[in-house]
Amino acid sequence: MFKFNASVCRHSFRKFSTDVSSFLTNKVFIDGKWVSALNGKTFLVYNPSNGEILHEAAECTHEDASIAIQAATEAFKSWRLTTAKYRSDLLRKLWSKQMKAHKALAQLMSLEMGKPLKESMGEIVYGASFLEWFAEEARRINGEVLQSPQKNKMMMYVKEPIGPVGIITPWNFPNAMITRKLAAALAAGCTVVIRPAEDSPFSGLALAKLADEVGFPSGVINVITSSRNNASAIGTTLCHSHDIRGISFTGSTAVGKLLLRESVSTVKRVSLELGGNAPFIVFNSADVSKAVDGCIASKFRNTGQTCVCANRIFVQSKIHDEFVEALVSKMSQELIIGSPTDESTTLGPLVNERAVEKVERHIKDATQKGAKIKTGGKHLKNCFFEPTVLTGAHQQMLLASEETFGPVAAIFKFDTEEEVIKMANAERNGLAGYFYSNDISQIWRVARHLEVGMIGVNEGIISSCEAPFGGVKESGLGREGSKFGIDEFINIKYVCIGNLSD
């Protein structure tokens, strides 16, 4: 049913320009220098579309992390005193550099984590938008003179950077998840130590290369890599360090809780963007065609591997069958499985074998508990998996309480608004939610009652640098992007000048 171009899955980086291969390195960036891991070890990074080795990356340990922290701490002494205009100009230059290199960066991303090239191109532009946005916000970090209750006192507050920051990012948005944090931190006057995910380390290192070319001072941006074997030790080192004054993390709820717990001893600022398990609700009054388009855009973007993708799709009884048939039909027309580096591909591979195993486990559990496979359901070659629609989903299935993080659309039928709100809010997560309705009163009611940090109403794609990104409940702490994003990296200092004379 779905088109699968197996031949194009043999692409390798050798097919592309030297610009792409120049980003593949087994070194890390510390204190303005490209260096090997102290132990001299590396780990292998694989192309998920063909199983081939893409390149080797440096296997850093807590010792490398400590050196990077020292570099960021020393650099902070002078970086914090730079003018907002200076920091703004550097960020804008980095934005320009990323935009000029967007094709190579997109190809690199597609090779290391399997995102279709069109989506990778979109992410590079999206990621660059945060560099541009916070270049502008850097010059708006203003204090205020307060109205003193006494004539001989002047009261004011100023905003200052919190200090060096540890940034830990996931593989599914290897450029944008870094730039969204990095740009805000740099704009505020913080220095950073970045640990990108082991499945997509080269996109993070590519940013370091561009920043180095732009002319950021040594030690302001540091990027270290490691396999899963050393991820915990590096994270713990960042959390326990008294010099690191903030942790900014995007990833699983379990790891986020661990980082929060490990940061208690140093009482540092912790910003978390965690799991979603987003509800996608289609009411009887909805435009079914638009709801189907929004569902496909939300559910199957990046092969279902996004924290804000639709995971639980609730469809009201009256239009349930119509929606399912339209969804299956549209998927067969629009979803083309193939090499992520082929421009015709709209559905690439899952990131690794563990991701495939989770999808298979969710489908098996659901079908054993009564769900029916309407389309798809098969593991293809390597890490490719057919886009799947399951009907008859209910709350006792694993996919109701766990993010599938794969191309599985599970359809839950519901009767009333009250019923679906209860089901949507039943989970401990609350990142994003979506619903389709043409009833304005219902739109306002449901938007008020959904327990999430972000809502798409009649819209399946909601992210933008101008909008605050973040969740409630166990989906995280703080906001990224927007005018609020810089607050995660700012301290407010109150100053009172007394005994003044006229």
Residues 6+ positions from 370 with CB-CB distance below 8 Å: 392, 394
Joined together, the tokens standing for residue 84 give 């907002």
pLDDT, position 3: 60
DSSP letter (8 states) at residue 319: G
Torsion angle defined by CA atoms of residues 429, 432, 436 and 440, in that order, rounded to the nearest 10 degrees? 100
For 271, the enclosing helix (H) or strand (E) is: strand 269-273
Report the amino acid identity of residue 277.
N
Superfamily of domain 9-274+476-492: Aldehyde Dehydrogenase; Chain A, domain 1 (3.40.605.10)
Report the amino acid identity of residue 129.
S
Contact 226, 61 (CB under 8 A): yes
DSSP string of 114-151, one letter each residue: ---HHHHHHHHHHHHHHHHHHHHHGGG---EEE--SST
Torsion angle defined by CA atoms of residues 211, 11, 300 and 127, in that order, rounded to the nearest 10 degrees? 10
Distance CA 252, CA 441 (A): 35
Residue 176 φ/ψ region, left for φ over 0, alpha for ψ in the -120 to 50 degree band, beta for the rest: alpha
Given CA atoms 95, 214, 192, 307 in this order, what sign does their dihedral have?
positive
* Residue 273: active-site member: yes
Domains of the chain, by residue range, sit at 9-274+476-492, 278-464
What residue has token string 């550097």? 90
Torsion angle defined by CA atoms of residues 165, 210, 30 and 72, in that order, rounded to the nearest 10 degrees? -30
pTM metric for this prediction: 0.95
State in words which class domain 278-464 has. alpha beta
Phi then psi for residue 321, to 5 deg, are: -65, -40
Count of H helices and E strands in the chain? Answer: 15, 24
Judge if 9-274+476-492 and 278-464 fold alike in CATH terms: no
Distance CA 401, CA 276 (A): 10
Q: In what order do the strands lie in the sheet with 154-161?
A: 144-146, 154-161, 490-497
Question: Could you say which residues of the chain have pLDDT below 70?
Answer: 1-18
Bridge partner residues of 167 (DSSP): 194, 248
What residue has token string 């855009």? 297
Catalytic residue among 119, 132, 137, 273: 273
Report the amino acid identity of residue 24.
L
Report the amino acid identity of residue 498.
G
pLDDT, position 19: 84
Joined together, the tokens standing for residue 239 give 């959390």
Distance CA 432, CA 436 (A): 14
Contact 347, 387 (CB under 8 A): yes
| CA end-to-end distance (rounded Å), the chain | 84
pLDDT, position 16: 52
Joined together, the tokens standing for residue 428 give 């401990």
